[in-house]
């Protein structure tokens, strides 16, 4: 399957622990995005990479959150000292820039559901 | 703040009927994307309509865009029970690359 993949699909952790999620984008896509979605709401943008450069971060991304895309391929999102308010679905998406009918289309992965106890 | 805002928030129809939902946004956009989401699952991309397009079709889906009114609509024709899901519009701002989602329209198609 050549879609966006995310691991793990579910994560349960205790408050104060650190967690790390991984996203593997569609292979030819140079842009990668992280969003967060809480129950009953639409996704909210967290951050965006073009290749390995992190070009935009939301104010939602506190200093406990860090994202990397070291080689311009997969990305990781780490949350340090988790809080109960961090419980949400974390979604990753990827897209390609340039020309073509599917440019800018963001394809989403299945998400990682985080529960902080 | 969320830019794409869908209306209505919820919609209940009988199988075979058409479902129409609307989306409003606030700033200039490059394109607007519609997604479907089933509970607990990821978002499935439906259609992207660019700012210079007025209408687009994909199977039973029809999307319109009116940039002068900053609004879009999604029409699902001949609905099926499998169309039961939440539908989100997501404008892509002209000034950046992020999608801004509203709260979605929850569609229930009754068999």
Structure tokens at A24: 């593997």
| pLDDT reported for residue A59 | 87
Distance CA A49, CA A94 (A): 9
**A85 exposure class (CB count in 10 Å sphere: 0-12, 13-18, 19+):** exposed
DSSP E strands, chain B = 5-7, 10-14, 19-24, 29-37, 43-50, 55-58, 61-66, 71-76, 85-93, 105-110
Chain A hits for B48, Cβ within 8 Å: 102, 104-105
Residue A70 CB-density burial (10 A; 0-12 exposed, 13-18 middle, 19+ buried): exposed
CA distance B88 to chain A (A): 7
CA dist., res. A63 & res. A79, Å (int): 9
Under DSSP, the state recorded for B51 is T
Burial of B81 (0-12, 13-18, 19+ CB in 10 A): exposed
A23-32, B36-45, B59-68, B92-101: least confidently modelled range: B92-101
Q: Is it the case that residue B1 has pLDDT exceeding 70?
A: no
Q: State whether A105 and B92 contact (CB < 8 Å).
A: no
The alpha-carbon gap from A69 to the nearest alpha carbon of chain B, in Å, equals: 17
**Nearest CA among A21, A1, A3, A16 for reference residue A88:** A21
**In B, which residues are within 8 Å of A93 by CB distance?**
43, 99
Structure tokens at B11: 């919609």
pLDDT value for B94: 76
Nearest to A104 among B31, B101, B103 (CB): B31
How many angstroms separate the CA of residue A17 from the nearest CA in chain B?
24
Q: What pLDDT score was predicted for residue A4?
A: 96
Cβ separation of B2 and A42 shorter than 8 Å? yes
Are the Cβ atoms of A108 and B2 closer than 8 angstroms?
no
Q: Which of A42, A53, A59, A107 to mutate to test the interface with B (most CBs of B within 10 A)?
A: A42
Pairing state of beta strands A31-37 and A88-95?
Answer: antiparallel
Instruction: Enter the DSSP assignment of A106.
Output: P
Q: Which residue do the tokens 């024709």 mark?
A: B77
pLDDT mean across residues, chain A = 92
Q: Is the pLDDT of residue A99 over 90?
A: no
Is B35's Cβ below 8 Å from some Cβ in A? yes
Residue A15 pLDDT > 70, yes or no?
Answer: yes
Count other Cβ atoms within 10 Å, centred on residue A80.
14
Q: How confident is the model at residue A72 (pLDDT cuts 50, 70, 90)?
A: confident
CB contact under 8 A, B42 and A48: no
Q: Look up residue A102 and give its two tokens.
A: 């599917």
Is the pLDDT confidence value at A104 over 90?
no
* B74-95 mean pLDDT: 93
Residue whose structure tokens are 């699909």: A9
Inter-chain touch B45–A91, beta carbons under 8 Å = no
Rounded CA separation A31/A10 (Å): 24
């Amino acid at each position: 399957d050549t879609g966006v993949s995310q691991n793990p699909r579910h994560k349960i952790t205790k408050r104060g622990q650190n967690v790390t999620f991984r996203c593997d984008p569609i292979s030819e896509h140079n842009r990668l995005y992280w969003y967060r979605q809480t129950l009953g709401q639409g996704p909210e943008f967290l951050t965006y990479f073009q290749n390995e450069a992190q070009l935009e971060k939301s104010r939602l991304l506190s200093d406990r959150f860090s994202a990397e895309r070291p080689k311009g391929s997969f990305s990781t999102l780490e949350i340090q000292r988790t809080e109960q308010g961090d419980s949400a679905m974390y979604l990753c998406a990827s897209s390609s820039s340039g020309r073509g009918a599917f440019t800018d289309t963001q394809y989403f992965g299945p998400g990682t559901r985080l529960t902080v106890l | 703040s969320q830019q794409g805002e869908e209306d209505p928030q919820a919609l209940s129809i009988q199988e075979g009927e058409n479902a129409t939902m609307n989306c409003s946004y606030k700033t200039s956009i490059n394109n607007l994307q519609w997604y479907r989401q089933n509970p607990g699952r990821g978002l499935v991309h439906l259609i992207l309509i660019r700012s210079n397009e007025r209408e687009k079709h994909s199977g039973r889906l029809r999307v319109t865009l009116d940039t002068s009114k900053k609004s879009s609509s999604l029409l699902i024709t001949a609905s099926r029970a499998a169309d039961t899901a939440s539908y989100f519009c997501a404008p892509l701002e002209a000034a950046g690359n992020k999608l801004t989602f509203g709260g979605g329209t929850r569609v229930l198609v009754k068999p």
